[in-house]
Amino acid sequence: MDKSSQVAGLNRRLRAAVIVTAAIAVAAIILAPLPVAAFQRQQPQVIRKPRPDADNDVFKGCFKTDKNGRKWPCFRINNPAANLTMFDCNIENRMGTEMYLDCEGDQRAYYMSPGDMWYERYASVFDPAPPPRYFNMERTSPKVSCEWGCAGNKMTGVVVWDEQWPEAWSCREVGGDGQCRFVFENNKEVVLVTRAGRRVLGDLPIKECSKNWWGYGGWLPFGLGCTYPKHDHDYYGKIKR
């Protein structure tokens, strides 16, 4: 091989090396991670503005007043952060025998053995705050009425919760005194028990029946010879015959 051929081959190898080096440099630039600032420019952050309490000034100075004189600020209607006021008032069976409650809005009656406690939560119907998504509040009355039954005795219109009770405010889950109990007692009374004390709401009609009424109790229909004993308070509801 002459000298000119050797020079030409060396030049080709040098050009090839330069091309490979340039390609590697370009690839490194392309594959290199973008700076944080450049990424942020490409992916702008979405800033969510908190929803205002009222969206407008319509509710300024607006209050809803319930029958106990408590004022509820109207701006809670449009405030998704406002927590609906909830109450706890547990129902207890201290009758010494099984009883049941069939309350409005419930799908079935609840049977309670002696000593059972039924944990209940009630939502305020006066508080304009939006209810939680998981809480389905169809009740519009401050009262919850039930049919009550025990040992063949039945009553309708037995109110187990009323947000207008003077003691109701202390039954709040948040900020209340707690320990609110609605008790059916074995002395045939319905009693509301709170930290403030006990208040008898009314009596229960428990019939007393003679099994040998005038000597013919063996063949007389059930109900004949039954009387309601004297009681100290008005019946708490309406007797269902």
pLDDT digits (tens, 9 = 90+) for 124-158: 999 999 887 777 667 789 999 999 999 889 999 99
Specify the amino acid at residue 95: M
List the single range of 94-98, 156-160, 174-178 with lowest mean pLDDT.
Answer: 174-178
DSSP at 143: E
Long-range contacts of 225-231 (CB under 8 A, 24+ apart): 231/188, 231/203, 231/205
Residue 60: is its pLDDT beyond 60?
Answer: yes
Q: What's the total number of domains in the chain?
A: 2
Residue 33 is assigned to a structural domain of this protein: yes
The H or E element that residue 39 is part of is helix 36-42
Residue 193, SS3 per DSSP = strand
Residue 64 is assigned to a structural domain of this protein: no
Residues 21 and 103 in one domain: no
Backbone angles phi, psi at 168, to 5 degrees: -60, -40
Residues 126 and 205 in one domain: yes
Paired tokens of 150: 């025990």
Residues 36 and 89 in one domain: no
Residues 138 and 199 in one domain: yes
| 66 closest CA partner among 181, 165, 161 | 165
Q: Average pLDDT for residues 92-103, to the nearest whole number? A: 95
9 CB contacts (<8 Å, ≥6 apart)? none
Reported as a pLDDT band with limits 50, 70 and 90, residue 52 is low
Paired tokens of 55: 């969206």
Residues 90 and 209 in one domain: yes
Residue 65 is assigned to a structural domain of this protein: no
Backbone angles phi, psi at 153, to 5 degrees: -95, 140
Residue 56 is assigned to a structural domain of this protein: no
Residues 19 and 102 in one domain: no
Residue 104 is assigned to a structural domain of this protein: yes
Residues 191 and 101 in one domain: yes
Residue 211: is its pLDDT beyond 70?
Answer: no
Residues 116 and 231 in one domain: yes
Structural domain of 140 = 85-239
This prediction's pTM: 0.68
